Amino acid sequence: DAGVTQSPTHLIKTRGQQVTLRCSPKSGHDTVSWYQQALGQGPQFIFQYYEEEERQRGNFPDRFSGHQFPNYSSELNVNALLLGDSALYLCASSPLAGERNEQFFGPGTRLTVL
Interface mask toward other proteins for 59-98; x: CB under 8 A: -----------------------------x-x-x-x-x--
Among 27, 51, 55, 83, binds other proteins (CB under 8 A): 55
Task: Assign 3-state DSSP to the chain and report helix, strand, coil percentages, each to 5.
Answer: 5, 50, 45
Nearer to other proteins, 50 or 73 (CB): 50
CB-based contact 13:113 (threshold 8 Å): yes
Centre a 10 Å sphere on the Cβ of residue 45 and count the other Cβ atoms it contains.
15
To the nearest 10°, the Cα dihedral for 47, 32, 42, 61? Answer: -20
Nearer to other proteins, 16 or 98 (CB): 98
Among 51, 52, 54, 102, binds other proteins (CB under 8 A): 102
Q: Cα separation of 78 and 69, whole Å? A: 18
Nearer to other proteins, 12 or 80 (CB): 12
Beta bridge partners of 56: 48
Binding site residues, other proteins, CB under 8 A: 31, 33, 35, 37, 41-45, 48, 50, 55-56, 58, 88, 90, 92, 94, 96, 100-108, 110
